[in-house]
Amino acid sequence: MTKVAFFISGTGGNALNLVRACREGRVPGEPVLCITSSPKAGGIEKLAAEGIRSVVVERKAFDSDEAHSEACYREVETAGASIICLAGWLKKLWVPPRWEGRILNIHPGLLPKFGGAGMYGMHVHRAVLAAGESESGCTVHLVDNEFDHGRVLLERRVSVRSDDTPESLQARVYAEEMKAYPEALAAFLVAISPAQP
Ligand code: GRF
């Protein structure tokens, strides 16, 4: 079974959802480790309750994004994970060639229009409403060295309502995230696993 690591900075809701999907056999992956950029991340306790160890790797302990990212990869590689799922990871992750095509992220908006530097969390939902869009959604994509830029694996859409607030839109998109990430990760892991003889 492919070993999977999760990177979180906050509540860890998506990571927890993925761990449960693995445990219930809906995703053919084995969760092994969580990396968190903050010792205050609420997800640490939630994942510990599921038996997942978290390692705190703070950006401020390093003098570059590359050095910070490499420290994260060292933990992941020591744990034997070959796939990383970013789930609310708020630091810039540098992707060296050996990790290309093996890091997934979920974004709370439709790409490429509502992505890029500074476009995260509520900023996305506010921008969607300000642009008068009739649809929003979430996107699972591969991670490369540009923000929100890698190949799209799966997108789920929601309608924007005339009385939506950023909070109500966020809640509707988040409900889709809970379906999209397990579905995308499952399909990805199946696609990369060697064919059985
Ligand atoms: C999600 O909305 C996800 O799309 C974005 O960060 C948020 C993390 O939420 N990348 P949670 O910590 O998984 O609840």
pLDDT digits (tens, 9 = 90+) for 60-90: 999 999 999 999 999 999 999 999 999 999 9
Segment 145-161 mean pLDDT? 96
Q: Output the CA 138–ligand 1 centroid distance in Å.
A: 10
pLDDT given at position 194: 77
Nearest CA owner, ligand 1 atom 1: 88
- pTM score of the predicted model: 0.95
pLDDT given at position 193: 87
Q: Output the CA 136–ligand 1 centroid distance in Å.
A: 15
Report pLDDT digits (tens) over 97-141: 999 999 999 999 999 999 998 999 999 999 999 999 999 999 999
Nearest CA owner, ligand 1 atom 2: 108
Write out residues with Cβ below 6 Å of ligand 1: 10-14, 87-88, 106-108, 138, 174, 177
Q: Which of 93, 113, 115, 114 is nearest to 104 (CA)?
A: 93
Q: Output the CA 178–ligand 1 centroid distance in Å.
A: 10
* Concatenated DSSP letters of the chain: -EEEEEEESS--HHHHHHHHHHHTTSS-EEEEEEEES-TT-THHHHHHHTT--EEE--GGGSSSHHHHHHHHHHHHHHTT--EEEESS--SPPP--GGGTT-EEEEESS-TTTT-STT--THHHHHHHHHTT-SEEEEEEEE--SSTT-SPEEEEEEEEPPTT--HHHHHHHHHHHHHHHHHHHHHHHHHHHSPPP-
